[in-house]
Amino acid sequence: MNTVWGLVVLMVLCNKCFIKDQLGIYAKSQILGNDSIPSRPDVVNIGSILTLDSIIGKVAKIGLEAAVENVNNDPTILNGTKLKLTIHDSNFSGFLSIMEALQFMETESVALIGPQTSVLAHMISHVVNKLQVPLLSFTATDPTLSSLQYPFFVRTTHSDAFQMSAIADIVDYYEWRQVVAIYIDDDHGRNGITSLSDQLAAKRCKISHKAPIKPEATVTDIRDVLLQVALMESRVIVVHTYANWGLDILKVAQDLHMMDSGYVWITTNWLSTVIDISSSANPTKFFSVMQGVITLRSYIKDSQLKRKFAMEWGNMTDLGLSTYSLYAYDTIWLLARALDDFFNQGGHISFSKDPELKDSRGGFLNIDSLSIFNEGKLLLENILQVKMNGTTGPIEFTSDKNLISPAFEVINVIGTGFRRVGYWSNSSGLSITLPETIPNQTNSSELLYSVIWPGEMVKAPRGWVFPHNGNQLKVGVPKRVSFKEFVEVVNGTDMYKGYCIDVFTSAVNLLPYAVPYKFYSYGDGYHDPSATHLVSLIKAGVYDAVVGDIAIITNRTQMADFTQPFTESGLVVVAPVRRLNSGTWAFLSPFSAKLWCVTGIFFLVVGAVVWILEHRINDEFRGPPKQQFITALWFSFSTLYFSHKQNMLSTLGRIILIMWLFVILIISSSYTASLTSILTVQKLSSPIEGINSLISSKDPIGYQQSSFVKNYLIEDLGISATRLVPLNLPEDYEKALKDGPNNGGVAAVVDERPYIELFLSTRCQFSIVGPEFTKNGWGFAFPRDSPLAVDISTAILKLSENGELQRIHDKWLMRSACSSQGAKFAVDQLELKSFKGLFYICGLACIIALFIYLGLVIHQYTKHKPHLPEPSRARVKPGRLKTFISFVDEKHESVKARSQKRLKETTSRTGVMGNDLPVNGYRSTQRESSSDTPEGS
């Protein structure tokens, strides 16, 4: 860049032959000091730098000239001021572009349009920044041109950042994870691919290989690049270049058979531009090199302005109408409206010399040639504030100087034409609905219509193949000596088999890209290796992944990233058990001891309560004390079978009986159900009830050697290390459990559930006791932040959803009949707490009934108490309690008869019949009869 600027300075100093164009009337007035001249000039100079030898340059020139003519013929714009457009050909030369920009400054141009490429735009932006002249470009799409470094650069088309986002969405939609990028090695290509890399990273995808092509590459150079691409595993190729080189790339790819089935070619909008402009000439040969390619084209909504311009375009040229033609046309109108606002705000076109433009000797650099546009900043502000409708739709700039509502069409080239398979917009992503109608559409999983891929394939390609020279993943596998169903080395080979191996290989086959790998065993072959140490070798760089029965625990997650668990795990306790489904006293098993006791007590209580309520009025509950006791007892227990023969005469007695029969119904039904379960379902019993009973005991505990279980039992559960016995093989488990703690064995073994379930599949004399007391799972380990961990997790979820994971489990870990008998550990006895509510209600009812009965009896006693003779002074007055007890024990009819007899005797003595006189506290026999029974009913 320093060399270029040096040449610029040299050319400026030597430039004495440039001929100045005629200045505008307003500019002359400033020089002559004539204030009477109108503020608006008759002519405003604008310049354009294009590459006229390119197809885009050709159509852009036509669009610009048509727009200038229409603006100058429109009386509603610029109020009589005419635009004068001067176009220079850069001929792909950055040096000439800079010189032409300086030459425009000699003509005091207020704005530049172009240049055509991002490379030239970077160079010229330095010039316009210094001279404060707005630079408008509808073809320079490099995202970095929008940075604060180039304040006077205005892009009147959409940045490449948006179409790279669209490509990333397409890649993610088809679940590809790696792409190869072919691009022109300049600012346009490099910065566009950098943007694509950022967009792909947000989708958890990446560019696996970058293939730059030098700007002046020959067919041989392109062939060399494509031969390298053909060796890559990814078959998804993104091409970001210029139209002139893009077709050459596709032609060479066709010769190399890289346009056959299995490949995916995605191009940026250069291809759609070529199709729009040049497809009419020899279409068969033209489209033959791009069959199945997906490309993007800026989406432009149909409008009356667009249709009108399209008619004019057909009269001006035989070239096809492209989006660049429309953007060039709108750029002139955008500048015209900004100038109109500029003049309406009182803006003046004036230029001045910059004192900083001096040479090393203090003289000005060609002082007669270069000038600074004094009102350049004001014009720039007006450009960015324009809101208008153009042929490309609404035109308005965001705060970061990008056009609003970027959208693209997704095009699939087939036959001698193309078909639109969907749309992409910045607001809604991919869709088969027009961008302007996206907010009203319903959610749909179909984001693109079907695509015809290279090789006329309808099904989306996998996007990768196994590479010829790709690096293989070094995958560490534990060399197990026990439980080989999970991982096992095939003797005499470098092959591996087992449950974990099958899950891993099935998950890798679901990935949308190739993952070459090779297994490496870890272990001495005599003892199971430590999984924690194996995972630590990933952090040390020895392995790229670890596959096996690796439990996901805290300290291991600090060393590596784990995938989604492919099987559930957790620590359980296994111990010897004995059957409990028969025995002499099995009929007592359904109820706990407390429940039996409380039930028996309530039989006696209810019998006593019923006897009390019925004793005074029911002859069946009277008689000698022995007979009454037997009657009450018989009545109470006969209710168990609903066979009681005694009739209830009292209302309170009937209520208590009904409630008690309901309680009996519930208890007897529960007893029957529980006893049936005990006698028909196998029950197991063990002195060990779970991990808590192990912790509280002093018996030795077995664990799998080299497992994390030892540290967990010591550090987390506080079990003494002296109680822990390492065991290696399943046979060691069996022997230690059979020997027991008294014969040098163990009381129980603590291990992960998958191992224990496999161990129990052929050993029915043992069982898992107590609940699982930890929760974790098994996963595959990868280096930290590895994208493979995420992709393998997704593949494991797919295996689970399609049933393949269960099929692999059944293949290796199918349980035998021994482990599938449905045996239950311990006896599920019914406890007192299950019936507390019933007993509370029944007991409360008995208490309330007794209180009501006692109140009625006391009330009756006050009315019917026997007339006691006055005792002599030598005798002691009989006890009132004894009298009350005797009254309660007396039959109710006897009390009533005695009361009536006393009433008659009193009446005969008084000789008064029918008077309502109080006798023994009663006012009338009629009122007596109203309370003949204790219940008062």
Other beta carbons within 10 angstroms of residue 633's beta carbon come to 15
CB 15 within 8 A of CB 52: no
CB 706 within 8 A of CB 522: no
The predicted structure's pLDDT at residue 767: 87
- Please give the sequence-ordered ranges of beta strands (E in DSSP) within 536-577, or none if there are none: 545-546, 561-562, 567-569, 571-576
* H/E segment holding residue 779: none
The predicted structure's pLDDT at residue 9: 34
**Type of residue at 208:** S
Q: For the chain, how far is it from start to end, CA to CA, in angstroms? A: 119
CB 21 within 8 A of CB 47: no
* H/E segment holding residue 478: strand 473-478
pLDDT single digits (tens) 38-60: 468 999 999 998 888 888 999 99
* Tokens coding 645: 């023969």
pLDDT single digits (tens) 722-750: 999 999 999 999 999 999 999 999 999 99
Task: For tokens 């060479």, name the residue.
Answer: 252
DSSP type of residue 724: E
Q: Which three-class secondary structure state does DSSP give residue 60?
A: helix
CB 156 within 8 A of CB 331: yes
Q: Is 539 exposed, middle or buried, given 0-12, 13-18 or 19+ CB atoms closer than 10 A?
A: middle
Alpha-carbon torsion (123, 127, 128, 130), positive or negative: positive
- Please give the sequence-ordered ranges of beta strands (E in DSSP) within 150-251, or none if there are none: 153-155, 178-184, 206-213, 236-240
Q: What is the DSSP string of 398-456?
A: -TTS-BSS-EEEEEEEETTEEEEEEEEETTTEEESS-GGGGGGSPP-S--S----BTTT
CB 300 within 8 A of CB 323: yes
CB 146 within 8 A of CB 155: yes
Looking at the DSSP bridge assignments, the partners of residue 638 are none
SS (H, E, C) 80-113: HCEEEEEEEECCCCHHHHHHHHHHHHHCCCCEEE
Q: What averages of pLDDT result for each successive group of 10 residues across the chain (937 residues)? A: 39 34 37 48 91 88 95 91 89 68 74 88 87 93 88 94 96 92 94 96 92 92 94 92 89 94 95 85 76 95 93 90 94 96 91 68 53 91 95 93 94 92 93 78 73 93 74 91 92 89 94 86 91 94 94 93 94 83 69 83 81 69 69 72 66 80 83 76 69 90 93 93 93 93 93 92 86 92 89 93 93 66 53 81 84 76 58 50 62 61 64 46 40 41
**Type of residue at 169:** D
Cα-only R_g, the chain: 50
* Tokens coding 68: 């200038």
Task: For tokens 């250069």, name the residue.
Answer: 270
CB 500 within 8 A of CB 297: no
Looking at the DSSP bridge assignments, the partners of residue 417 are 414
Q: What is the dihedral of CA 435, 438, 441, 443, to 10 degrees?
A: 110
The predicted structure's pLDDT at residue 226: 95
The predicted structure's pLDDT at residue 101: 64
The predicted structure's pLDDT at residue 52: 85
DSSP type of residue 482: S
Q: What is the dihedral of CA 729, 735, 736, 742, to 10 degrees?
A: -170
CB 49 within 8 A of CB 116: yes
- Please give the sequence-ordered ranges of beta strands (E in DSSP) within 481-631, or none if there are none: 488-489, 496-497, 517-522, 545-546, 561-562, 567-569, 571-576, 578-579
* Tokens coding 613: 């309520």
Q: Number of helices (H) and strands (E) in the chain: give both, helices first.
A: 30, 34
Half-sphere exposure of 535 (CA within 13 A, CB side): 25
